[in-house]
Structure 1
Amino acid sequence: MNTVPAAGGFDHVPVIDVRALVTPSSSAAERRAVAARIGAACRESGFFYVVGHGVDAGLQARLEELSRRFFALPLDDKMAIRMALGGPAWRGFFPVGGELTSGRPDRKEGLYFGTELGPEHPLVRAGTPLHGPNLFPQEPRGLREAVLDYMAALTRLGHALMSGIALSLELEEDYFAARYTGDPLVLFRIFNYPPGPSTAEDGQPVWGVGEHTDYGVLTILKQDDAGGLQVKSRAGGEVRWVEAPPVPGSFVCNIGDMLDRMTRGVYRSTPHRVLNRSGRDRLSLPFFFDPGWTTEIHPIDAPALHGVSTLDDRAERWDGQSVHAFRGTYGDYLLGKVGKVFPDLRSKVLS
């Protein structure tokens, strides 16, 4: 068998028009052509921009405006929906420094959302972590509706992009929907990165968010025009950080650790980080499209992966962990990760 080749270097994040994946009347050849570009990006950088995605620009603008208005509120007003009030659903607001990456506080504040589920839902009745109602602020008015409409639109886009990833692996378009994401775990964040000093008292850089990879399958990110997203590239053993600047009308997509595991490391989850050097607030809206909570995660038997054996790359990873060693459901996996982000809430959410 062939082992997974070492990740190569790259100097930019490609822009891919995915109109054929979101347009029902597109031909099979058009869809395969887009899928091939996505597959190449997943192998080379793990990141790609998407345009032609069909998500309403007016909805995006409305959500961005309302988000800025929320973060401009006094801290006491924002803390009225703090995450400690969200219970097992893991929803609500956290202040600057309230979220950790690799044990260090990030310089960002944020709102956590997920699929809106009422008390009658079986997973909510069972007290399942990360399931339940969202916490919405009283002000600004309209934020609730904008968030829910946006999550619905990005869920549709997530299904379309996963159909393209399936085609890129020489699978049927509905492969992921039929086995993993038919009822996806949808998590949505709105982050505000305030400006500030570039180094801490100990001389270490103060990152908006430090080096990390995403946990799941697919991340769809809307970023404002402030910039600051950097993606890690390796070429000939040399590490460099490639800027992923804002591209008007686009989303930045990246694959996470679970798709890395499913593809035996052929599609790599790439480390990335944020450094806000704009001198003003930076708004970021990552949407996570992941397998269902009770879904068992296994490597994929895909024609494009035949003859490939898993490479244990823990020595190269930012956290020193091997995602390929995991066995169990996606919910089991996620619970092992989220407590490291908010350690003060861990005992409450997992109790």
Structure 2
Amino acid sequence: MGHSQPSSEISVPIINLSGIQDLKTSKSSSALVQKLIKNIGNACIQWGFFYVTEHGIDPKLINDVLKVSNEFFKQPKIYKKTVQRQPNNYRGYTDSELTKQKVDWKEAYDFGAEYPAEVNTLENGIDLDAGTNQWPSDIPHFKETLLQYFSEMHSLSSVLMDLIFMSLNVDPRTMKHHFNEATDTSFCRLNYYPVCADANRNLGVGPHADAGVLTVLLQDNNVTSLQVQKDGNFHDVPPIPGTFVINIGDMMQVWSNGIFQAPVHRVLANSESERLSVPFFFNPSYETNVEPLNQSVSNEHPRRYRSINWGIFRRGRILGDYADHGEEIQIYQFEIRNDNDTEMTPNVDQN
């Protein structure tokens, strides 16, 4: 394995979610829920990364997702390219995704909710995520397994987001309208990292922060390749059976006014073992304008960001990921640099 740095003993927190049943039954004042809110808030402040256990997702479904993912990636390239991404549809298969203008050592397959037809075109002309799922033929239970998993991940993400907002003293009900399984821009990805003979010169995925709100990651149980940056060093995030790895993204950093930092993370290439992972990216609707929430702004923490339209931001990031269009859009480009710098337009090229 290349790129390794000595990983210190500190490790990403593990949070038991067994208290979410109280949250779902409106007992949000219970001691269990209050402890959960505090633990998740602290994890978001200190790491932006945490594991969850006792999350309630059926282990059989998790195994089935890894099984159909493995079956897909084991097919010949000519088969996988029958569901290749197209310029007008970013769902499907790719083996040429970029991170910061460098090709990742991986293959991927993206899918999302099955949109009703009328959602496919949005008023502002941005329809990057509202593409059509391209389902490969001849892999039993592929489509139904992945759509069930998508729905379960959307529900789990909603609960995690509620807890994160509650840790900021924000009523999560005021944020729900940005997230709807039929119309938001959440999507799921199957990642396959082949064995890499020259692991020192390649990365599975280069260092980056996720663009959206939060990511729920399923890792297979064989290989430690994921690393998160903290205090200038990269730390291993090894797979722990029965857990998901959660990380917050850029939009949650902006909503929190920088109280939470979207963590930089990367995936090492491996010279001995292949690896599967399944990230679910929880993202709002295109119309959502993300700006620091009032509860996160104070005299001690003045407003750090201008309003960011998620549709425009998503478009800028996706163009950098799928083709080399120069520097990817980043939230630092929306930072307020002085008291007069509060206009609502980003200082970035949106073309």
**TM-score for both structures, normalised by structure 1:** 0.83
Quickly say closer, same or farther: Cα 1:171–1:187, change in 2 above 3 A. same
Secondary structure, in 3 states, of the residue corresponding to 2:50?
strand
**What per-residue deviation string (whole Å, max 9, x for no partner) do you get for residues 17-73 of structure 1?**
112224534552221210110000000010000111111111110110011011000
Match of 1:276 in 2: 269
Residue 278 of structure 1 and its aligned partner are, at CA, apart by 6.5
Secondary structure, in 3 states, of the residue corresponding to 2:278?
strand
Match of 2:73 in 1: 71
Q: Does the CA contact (< 8 Å) of 1:124 and 1:132 recur in 2?
A: no
Check if 1:28 corresponds to 2:25: no
Residue 345 of structure 1 and its aligned partner are, at CA, apart by 10
**In 1, Cα distance between equivalents of 2:271 and 2:175:** 39
**In 2, Cα distance between equivalents of 1:14 and 1:290:** 24
Residue identity in the other structure for 1:217: V
Match of 1:114 in 2: 112
**In 1, Cα distance between equivalents of 2:122 and 2:289:** 20
Q: Does the CA contact (< 8 Å) of 1:88 and 1:127 recur in 2?
A: no
Q: Give 1:1-351 correspondences, 5 Å limit.
A: 11-23=10-22, 24-25=24-25, 28-29=29-30, 30-84=32-86, 87-95=87-95, 98-121=96-119, 123=121, 128-178=127-177, 180-182=178-180, 183-199=183-199, 205-225=201-221, 226-234=223-231, 239-277=232-270, 279-302=272-295, 305-309=297-301, 324=305, 327-343=307-323
Residue identity in the other structure for 1:52: E
**In 2, Cα distance between equivalents of 1:184 and 1:127:** 13
Residue 305 of structure 1 and its aligned partner are, at CA, apart by 4.8
- Identity percentage over the alignment? 30
**In 2, Cα distance between equivalents of 1:277 and 1:209:** 12
Residue identity in the other structure for 2:209: T
**In 2, Cα distance between equivalents of 1:90 and 1:171:** 34
**In 2, Cα distance between equivalents of 1:278 and 1:175:** 47
Quickly say closer, same or farther: Cα 1:141–1:43, change in 2 above 3 A. same
Q: Does the CA contact (< 8 Å) of 1:12 and 1:242 recur in 2?
A: yes
**In 2, Cα distance between equivalents of 1:113 and 1:209:** 19
Quickly say closer, same or farther: Cα 1:76–1:344, change in 2 above 3 A. farther
**In 2, Cα distance between equivalents of 1:53 and 1:127:** 34
**In 2, Cα distance between equivalents of 1:53 and 1:278:** 33
**In 2, Cα distance between equivalents of 1:131 and 1:310:** 36
**What per-residue deviation string (whole Å, max 9, x for no partner) do you get for residues 269-295 of structure 1?**
010000133612100101011111111
What RMSD over aligned residues (CA atoms) do the two structures have, in Å? 2.5
**In 1, Cα distance between equivalents of 2:259 and 2:35:** 19
Residue 122 of structure 1 and its aligned partner are, at CA, apart by 5.5
Q: Does the CA contact (< 8 Å) of 1:116 and 1:132 recur in 2?
A: no
Q: Does the CA contact (< 8 Å) of 1:118 and 1:132 recur in 2?
A: no
**In 2, Cα distance between equivalents of 1:233 and 1:167:** 24
Aligned pair count? 314
**In 1, Cα distance between equivalents of 2:80 and 2:197:** 24
Q: Does the CA contact (< 8 Å) of 2:48 and 2:247 recur in 1?
A: yes
Q: Does the CA contact (< 8 Å) of 2:297 and 2:303 recur in 1?
A: no
Q: Does the CA contact (< 8 Å) of 2:101 and 2:324 recur in 1?
A: no
**In 2, Cα distance between equivalents of 1:57 and 1:174:** 30
Residue 124 of structure 1 and its aligned partner are, at CA, apart by 6.7
Secondary structure, in 3 states, of the residue corresponding to 1:242?
strand
Quickly say closer, same or farther: Cα 1:167–1:27, change in 2 above 3 A. closer
Q: Does the CA contact (< 8 Å) of 2:292 and 2:303 recur in 1?
A: no
Match of 1:316 in 2: none
Quickly say closer, same or farther: Cα 1:136–1:345, change in 2 above 3 A. farther
Secondary structure, in 3 states, of the residue corresponding to 2:280?
strand
Quickly say closer, same or farther: Cα 1:252–1:266, change in 2 above 3 A. same
Q: Does the CA contact (< 8 Å) of 1:88 and 1:131 recur in 2?
A: no
Quickly say closer, same or farther: Cα 1:345–1:257, change in 2 above 3 A. closer
Secondary structure, in 3 states, of the residue corresponding to 1:55?
coil
Secondary structure, in 3 states, of the residue corresponding to 1:32?
helix
